[in-house]
Amino acid sequence: MSLLSIRNLNLSIHGTPILAGVSLEIARGQIIAVTGESGSGKSMTAFSVMGLLPKGAETTGEILLGNGTKAATGRRRHPGRDSPAGQSAKTDILQMSETQLCDLRGNEIGMVFQEPMTALNPVQTIGAQVAETIRLHRDSSKAEAREQAAQTLARVGLPESRFPLSRYPHELSGGQRQRVVIAMAIACGPRLLIADEPTTALDVTTQAQILDLLKELTEEDQMGLLMITHDLAVVANMARHIVVMRKGQVVEQNDTRTLLSQMQHPYTKALFEASSHQVDLPETRAETPLLQVQDVCRDYRLPRKTLFGRPGHFRAVDDVSFDIAKGERVGLVGESGCGKSTLTRAILGLENVEAGRITLDGAPVFSGGRPNLNVRRKMQVVFQDPFGSFNPRHRVDRLITEPFHLLERQPSAQEWQARIAESLMAVGLSPDDARKYPHQFSGGQRQRIAIARALIIRPELVIFDEAVSALDVSVRAQILDLIADLCRQYALTYLFISHDLSVVRSVTDRVLVMQAGRIVEQGDTEAVFTNPNHTYTRSLIKAAPVLPAMVSS
């Protein structure tokens, strides 16, 4: 008997249709993957199961949760919801009151959200947050809840001996914070776990660890796992059944092996083609060195351990050296915390370094204790989250002309408008888009605007900092093709930073592998990926998710 049955679910919000005829089933111990682009209805399906719909939402259909045989001992009971032990009746979540839903969430259904820093309370310790979940649903004392929280955190790989319950979220890495979120979700032994893009922002090794953890927990507890993702490579070897959604509808679903080998719907085929998309990067000839990083070290001061003791120092970048020639496309990969972002800030002149030298065209990026503006105007950056890097109150024309303040001579009014139109058309947008606001565009379009902003002053070096990691696979393919086209038009020189190895492999000529502040391997991209020399490089490549051969071929 199925654990969760969604039957002909229809959802509209203030009259706007969101979901239409969604149906799927999950059994105990089964992993179901729901995939599709942003706006396909994946997350709204999950929120419907959790009863977390916004005001103005109207639903029809059924979301049936089997009561199963979960023992009711130690947890609060609500008349009309709890069934006698052993009864296999089903409850329609859409008919439950808010009080019943509050008891359901965390107790019967757990949810793991995409961004752990948003899901966690920054002013509460990790132990207090896991214990709070337990005390909300169990008649436990503080001491009992604390002990169970410690056991749950140890289960997800955070033993108290190494990760005290008194730690705060900001003291943990991204992968460790995600483990805390998982601990909160499973603390009360739910029968259904929903994971909404739980690995999108994680590096490949941490992603592999989190996926293995979810799979292990599902098998041990015989939970049902509803995995929501836009990347099929992530779940191709994990899910038993795959559901493909588009514009609020299920367009295809089948067991994983059958779906991979016998795709029927054109959208499913397009989604898989985008997942294994290969970029047609133009040939380039490396010229004279443009960016030179020589023996760079960057330290951060640590807090004092005693009142009169000396503060310690943490070396984030340790004796790093490399060059980027004009017209060259270089990738930088490594786990979170390896020093990629610190090195990027140093290259951009946002932070000074303790040792070494960084020059662009022979001029230092930091001079006289401050950034060298003559160098700074020759570099631009494209960030991971374009919406976060834009002022939502400003129109596109003002946003993409922000780099003009770096120029010694401001363009005339006529040249100003010509530059705006040229930059927008170069990234596949219309000059008419200049008078719109960021919220009027999709995620991929906003990233195109971010690239237009980076190119408008014709920089000599562009840094792409995780520029495609948050995008759907189809939108990611479009942005990567755009970068290749721009290489043809402008002979771009760029440093491409990403944790997605397949992306780095397709858009770079040379790659740098960074671990613990050091460059442990560098060389021709294809040579490094085909025959890596360093153990760490081999572990990164092994951890990267790949589509099965029958699809990727």
pLDDT at 251: 96
Residue 166 CB-density burial (10 A; 0-12 exposed, 13-18 middle, 19+ buried) = exposed
- The 10s digit of each residue's pLDDT in 333-364 is 998 778 888 999 999 998 899 999 999 999 99
Q: pLDDT at residue 548 above 80?
A: no
Using a pLDDT cut of 90, give the percent of the chain over it. Answer: 55
Looking at residues 286-297, what average pLDDT do you find?
A: 89
CATH number of this structure's domain 288-301+313-378+460-474+486-545, picked from the four choices 3.40.50.300, 3.90.580.10, 3.30.420.40, 2.60.40.10 = 3.40.50.300
Mean predicted lDDT score pLDDT of the chain:
87
Domain with CATH 3.40.50.300 in the chain: 4-73+86-269, 288-301+313-378+460-474+486-545
pLDDT at 519: 96
pLDDT at 72: 37
- The 10s digit of each residue's pLDDT in 165-212 is 999 998 887 788 889 999 999 999 999 999 988 887 678 888 888 899
Task: Give exposure, 305-341, as e/b (b: 16+ Cβ within 10 Å).
Answer: eeeeeeeeeebbbbebebbbbbbbbbbbbbbbbbbbe
pTM above 0.75, yes or no: yes
Task: Give exposure, 36-71, as e/b (b: 16+ Cβ within 10 Å).
Answer: bbebbbbbbbbbbbbbebeeeeebebbbbbbbbebe
pLDDT at 215: 92
pLDDT at 169: 92
Single-letter amino acid code for the residue at 148: Q
Q: pLDDT at residue 76 above 50?
A: no
Q: pLDDT at residue 526 above 90?
A: yes
Q: pLDDT at residue 491 above 60?
A: yes
Distance of CA 546 to the CA centre of its chain: 17
CATH number of this structure's domain 4-73+86-269, picked from the four choices 3.40.50.10420, 3.40.1360.10, 3.40.1410.10, 3.40.50.300 = 3.40.50.300
What is the pLDDT confidence band of residue 85, given thresholds at 50, 70 and 90? very low
Three-state secondary structure of 280-307:
CCCCCCCCCEEEEEEEEEEEEECCCCCC
- The 10s digit of each residue's pLDDT in 442-457 is 778 888 999 999 989 8
Classified as helix, coil or strand, 79 is coil
Sign for the pseudo-dihedral over CA of 176, 541, 520, 378? negative
Residue with more model confidence, 33 or 276: 33
- The 10s digit of each residue's pLDDT in 93-151 is 999 999 999 989 989 999 998 778 788 999 999 999 999 999 988 888 999 999 999 99
Using a pLDDT cut of 70, give the percent of the chain over it. Answer: 94
pLDDT at 78: 40
- Euclidean distance between CA atoms 246 and 248, whole angstroms: 6
432-437: long-range pairs with CB below 8 Å, 24+: 433/396, 434/395, 434/396, 434/397, 434/400, 435/395, 435/396, 435/397, 436/395, 436/396, 437/392, 437/393, 437/394, 437/395, 437/396
- The 10s digit of each residue's pLDDT in 295-339 is 999 998 888 888 888 888 889 999 999 999 998 999 999 987 788
What is the pLDDT confidence band of residue 549, given thresholds at 50, 70 and 90? low
pLDDT at 488: 87
pLDDT at 508: 94
Under 8 Å CB-to-CB from 415, ≥6 apart: which residues?
Answer: none
Nearest to 489 by CA among 284, 343, 300, 348: 284
pLDDT at 489: 86
Find the Cα–Cα–Cα–Cα dihedral 541, 543, 546, 548, rounded to 10°: 110
